[in-house]
Amino acid sequence: MNTKLVVYVISDSIGETAEQVIKAAISQFDCGDCEIRRFPYISEEEQIREIINEATHEKNCMIIFTMVIPRLRKLLTESAQYHQIQAVDIMTPIISSLQQILKAEPKSEPGLIRKLDEKYFKKVEAIEFAVKYDDGKDPRGLKKADIVLIGISRTSKTPLSMYLAHKNIKVANVPLVPEVPVPDEIFEVPPKKIIGLTTDPIKLNEIRQERLRALGLSNEANYASMERILEELDYAEGLMKKLGCPIIDVSTKAVEESANIIMDIMKQNLSFR
């Protein structure tokens, strides 16, 4: 009867990578009883000594590790060798190869991939938020948003929402139409979290006419008339003043420029907390 195999998974981060590797390797053998003991976030030499001491009392064990901190990796390797415990270093061969190819030194900072994953998922969450609460679809999102954009049609609300979402900012936007009351929730949002978007009426007239042509409609429609545009802009300006929110004129600005202004406003608001 085979003695139980005990595998020590040691990492200065979560240790999930090493555990998955050893599980995949073990699946290639009929090794019977096997126990995996994972030790994450190892950052002190004393922790390594305690694990090695525990391992010396096992009859059949091995160590698999992902350590990027050189001093800890050295101690673990030497201690395992001294006690004749088989130890497998997963990260070092790969890092060494990359170092030679890239002609650069590794950061030797644990948990970087996890930090990147967290940043990625925050971005995805912000993008999903922007899609869900675009164009006033669901007013419940207004109080959850980091920023709420308001403005009449063709003032770059959606492009700005998506651009800011890629900066991990949750944005909701509300179209302003004189005949359609804004949701009550907008008055419950702090004014500093609302950004009003306005534009030059002549520029907007050109944009709307082009939009109608793209849709195969007559550019003489009320949507693109100067009278209608001035009416909408006047209504929007009155509401923005009532809300007391900052207003940005987007008529001559690229989306990136407007987004940078919004992010600067957000930073100023944080500094005055």
Q: What is the pLDDT of residue 217?
A: 83
What is the distance between the alpha carbons of residues 177 and 171, in angstroms, rounded to a whole number? 20
Q: Is 258 annotated as a binding residue?
A: no
Two structure tokens written together for 249: 């004129």
Q: Is the pLDDT of residue 173 over 80?
A: yes
Q: Is 153 annotated as a binding residue?
A: yes
pLDDT, one tens digit per residue, over 247-262 is: 999 999 999 999 999 9
Strand ordering across the sheet containing 34-39: 34-39, 5-11, 61-66, 86-89
Q: Is 155 annotated as a binding residue?
A: yes
Q: Is 157 annotated as a binding residue?
A: yes
Lowest mean pLDDT among 35-39, 116-120, 138-142, 233-237: 116-120
Q: Work out the mean pLDDT of the chain and round it to a whole number.
A: 89
Q: What is the pLDDT of residue 201?
A: 96
Q: Is 156 annotated as a binding residue?
A: yes
What crossing angle do the helices spanning 157-165 and 112-132 adopt, rounded to 10°?
160
Q: How confident is the model at residue 113 (pLDDT cuts 50, 70, 90)?
A: low
Q: What is the pLDDT of residue 85?
A: 95
What is the distance between the alpha carbons of residues 144 and 129, in angstroms, rounded to a whole number? 9
Percent of the chain clearing pLDDT 70 (strictly above): 95
pLDDT, greater one: 234 or 125: 234
What is the distance between the alpha carbons of residues 51 and 3, in angstroms, rounded to a whole number? 20
* Complete domains list, the chain, with CATH: 5-110 (3.40.50), 117-271 (3.40.50)
pTM of the predicted protein model? 0.61
Look at residues 157, 149, 153, 151 and name the one whose alpha carbon lies nearest to residue 205.
153
What is the distance between the alpha carbons of residues 152 and 177, in angstroms, rounded to a whole number? 6
Q: Is the pLDDT of residue 109 over 80?
A: no
Q: How confident is the model at residue 243 (pLDDT cuts 50, 70, 90)?
A: very high
In the chain, the largest separation of any two C-alpha atoms, in whole Å, equals 91
